Each structure stands twice: as C-alpha cells, then as structure tokens.
Chain A
Amino acid sequence: IVLTQSPATLSLSAGERATLSCRASQSVSRYLAWFQQRPGQAPRLLIYDVSNRATGIPARFSGSGSGTDFTLTISSLEPEDFAVYYCQQRSNWPPTWTFGQGTKVEAK
C-alpha cells in the first residue's frame, strides 16, 4: 500500500487551521496513524487508529477518514506546530508498515 500525502508544503500563519491529507492506494484498515517531526528531533506520535489522540497530545489535533482517504486537522496552529507530518499505515498480513512522504507545515 502506497500512502500519498498532500500538499507537500502548507504555508500558514499561527492561529490558522491546517488540513493535511493522506490518500492510500487501496483501502486501509483502522491502523492509520499520524506523526509530527520537528527539526533535529525524533518523530512523535499524534494520532493512532485514525482518530485517537496519543497521550499528551493537545485537543487541537484531530484525525478522521476511512477507506483510502484520511485527514489530520490542526484547528488553530501554535508556533510549535510548524513541523513535518507523516501518515503511516500497517498492513494486516504479513505485517508491514509504510509512511507517506510527509507534509511540511511552514510559517507564512
């Protein structure tokens, strides 16, 4: 399964809403996750199983979707949210994991 994220880059201002897309080449199970990666840091899990926020993740982050189309929404961007975001899915059998190519959210 190939995951395609769009757009590649999103230029927004703090306080604006960010909508990131992740499209799968075939239907994905519920195992769709989103990660944030800031420069020089390891990735951080934001959302798992399509719409569940990971521990400690603020409510401004939300995930939705089903089948082949998934969305990560950041309701109101904070300065620390400017980063690269990756979606990730797990195939059922054999277990394999794939990432999208990433969307960079940059300050306008």
Chain B
Amino acid sequence: EVQLVESGGGLVQSGGSLRLSCAASGFAFRSYWMTWVRQVPGKGLEWVASINEDGSESYFVDSVKGRFTISRDNAKDSLYLQTSSLRVEDTAVYYCARAMGGTVGDYWGQGTLVTVSS
C-alpha cells in the first residue's frame, strides 16, 4: 500500500524556517517525481515544488523561488521541503504527493500544517 506521511509543520515567526519531511512507503520511491502542494485553510490548492527521480531537477512556483528548496534521499525513501524567510502568506497545509505523468499526484499524504505568525 502506498503511504506518504508528512511531518515537520508547526508554528513559526515571520522570517523563520522549517524543514518539512515526507516519508514514503509501499512503492519504488526512487522511480517517481515527487511534489509539494499547499492549501490555505478553506482555500484552493497551490502547487509549490517538484523534484525529479534522482534529485537533479527541481521546479518551484514563483512565490517561493529563492526561499524554498526541495530535496530527496532515495536511500531513506524521504522527501523534504526546506522553507526559509517564511511569510504570513505561507501559512497552509503542506501535502506531499507522488507525481504521475502530468498530474501533481496520484497518491497524497494527509498534510502538515505550517502557521507563520507576524
């Protein structure tokens, strides 16, 4: 069974940093692109970042470029999102997802909440 479990969310002050993690199991993690998607509570979905199978390529939504980095450890079946210079508007539930073709994800975790206070 495919499982994705996010962790690392929490309350942080504006300008701070957090490292989000996503533990994957039940599939060949090293063979898939992976994605982070976020959702402000009560609002819509926003793609944040994606990384290719071996970590050599990564892509970001414009609003987080230069502040967030995405990485992976295929030996540990884990995906990461390092966030820095956090802003109040980064407050959201952050989901990791296993990318499939042109979709952001065919399997999703349950999300981890990041709250940025002013």
Contacts and interface: CB of A to CB of B under 8 A. Distances in A.
Contact of B102 (A42, A89, A101): A89
A42 B44 contact: no
Nearest to A102: B44
A13 B34 CA distance: 37
Looking at B104, B110, B111, which has the most chain A CB atoms within 10 Å of its CB? B104
State which size class the interface on B falls in: 20 to 34
B35 A42 contact: no
B1 interface: no
B59 A96 contact: yes
Given A42-B95, A96-B59, A48 B46 contact: no
Interface stretch (A17-25, A29-37, A65-73, A75-83): A29-37
A44 to B, nearest CB: 7
A88 B108 contact: no
B61 interface: yes
A49 interface: yes
Interface of B: 35, 37, 44-47, 50, 59, 61, 95, 100-106, 108-111
29 contacts: A31-B102, A31-B103, A33-B102, A33-B103, A37-B45, A42-B95, A42-B108, A42-B110, A43-B105, A43-B108, A45-B100, A45-B105, A45-B106, A48-B100, A48-B101, A48-B102, A49-B102, A54-B106, A55-B106, A88-B45, A88-B47, A88-B103, A89-B102, A90-B102, A96-B61, A99-B44, A100-B44, A101-B44, A102-B45
